[in-house]
Amino acid sequence: MPDSLTTTSQHISQPSTMASTKEPEPSVTGPVPLPFKDADVDDDAVQDPQLKEYKRRASELPSNPTRLRTRLRCYQGTWVLEQWVPGIMAIQRGFAPRQGDVIVASPPKCGTTWLKALTFATMARGVYPPTHAAHPLLRLNPHDCVPFMENLFAAGLGSKMDALPSPRVMATHMHHSVLPASIRANPECKIVYICRDPKDMLVSMWHFARRLRPDVRLLDDMFEPACDGSGLSGPIWNHVLGYWNASKASPETVLFLRYEEMLRDPVGNVKKLAHFVRQPFSPAEEEAGVVTDIVGLCSFEKLKNLEVNMPSSDVREGNFPKDSYFRRGVTRDWANHMTPEMAARLDAVMEEKLRGSGLSFSSLLRDRRP
């Protein structure tokens, strides 16, 4: 994981109405970057009997080996990386959201990094206007600003979330059905979900995996498990349906976004996001161009070309280099890697599983291409 930067907790204020490069006032905050490294295991946590028990239980779950020297485990009907399972168990057992907390949820490789950046920049604009010369996103990877909960709790660092000021922004790849009731049934905890055409998601995941294991095969190692529901974060249709149904039942607590629509109208979707998290842009902010400044700050090209996200030789074994989170960021890249037969098969699987839900990836892409 990327290195993080120590920050000082302050008090909460309303978002600024004008973009500025002035140093933020010490008494103003919103979400802050992590004041600890979410990949470093807490020494005390290593001895925690409960965490050891979670790891033991994870090792006994049904498994599905991958070519990344790790295993997928089937936990509560979902396929997740073995190292995530203890973190999920710890979250289910003891995570207590605060009023104003926001959870960014997604399957892997569906625009998570972009949504993290947009959510953080939107909610932190009271501390760091998007044009601020010292904005955290100019010097930190978005994953330093929005922690991945499964890794955090598996490393024994979950309690350190208490040190972060409100409102907090966190991220997860958990299925909606696996979320603890403290999140799932909490009207004060907002969930922002993003998904993507599964074909593009799969190709993006393949390229991502190949950064550590160039021998990973798209067809045998990724495509077949995706189709039968045993791939990472699978079954993917259950992942999407869980949040889709929750957004229909409780639109005030679950915002359902699609990557393709975000690309078509980033400004409109950032406004929607801000309203959803109860930090709508004021007329003065809109007139000053704050929304477009946030979109520009978080754009793919901007983030990709920052020094902090450039390729680096300083990568710890088993962790992905920071530049691996910024490959292409486009739609329909699947056509460059899948045969028409493969695409038709995955489309058919998804259409069958989503039938009757009101959600369709095929119609979205067919009728509303960029």
Beta bridge partners of 80: 73
Strand runs (DSSP E) across the chain, as ranges?
63-65, 71-75, 78-81, 102-105, 169-172, 190-195, 254-258
Mean pLDDT by 10 residues, the chain (370 residues): 32 37 44 60 62 95 76 96 96 93 95 94 94 92 91 90 89 98 94 95 81 72 91 96 98 97 96 97 97 94 78 50 56 82 94 94 50
User: In sequence order, what DSSP letters do the residues of 68-129 get, joined into one string?
Assistant: TS-EEEEETTEEEEGGGHHHHHHHHHH--PPTT-EEEE--TTSSHHHHHHHHHHHHTTTTS-
- What is the reported pLDDT for 321? 55
- What is the reported pLDDT for 217? 73
Q: One-letter amino acid identity for 10?
A: Q
- What is the reported pLDDT for 209? 74
Question: Assign residue 57 a region: left if phi > 0, alpha if psi is -120 to 50, beta otherwise?
Answer: alpha
Distance of CA 24 to the CA centre of its chain: 27
218-246 burial, b at 16+ Cβ within 10 Å, e below that, comes to beebbbebbbebebbbbbbbbbbbbbbbb
**How far is the C-alpha of 10 from the C-alpha of 38, rounded, in Å?**
21
- What is the reported pLDDT for 198? 94
**Domains of the chain as residue ranges with CATH:** 46-311+333-367 (3.40.50.300)
Whose structure tokens read 């960029």?
370
Candidate list 135, 173, 176, 239, residue with the active-site label: 173
Predicted TM-score of the model (pTM): 0.84
Cα angle for residues 351, 357, 360 (degrees, 5° grid): 40
- The reply to whether 173 belongs to the active site is yes
**How far is the C-alpha of 327 from the C-alpha of 16, rounded, in Å?**
33
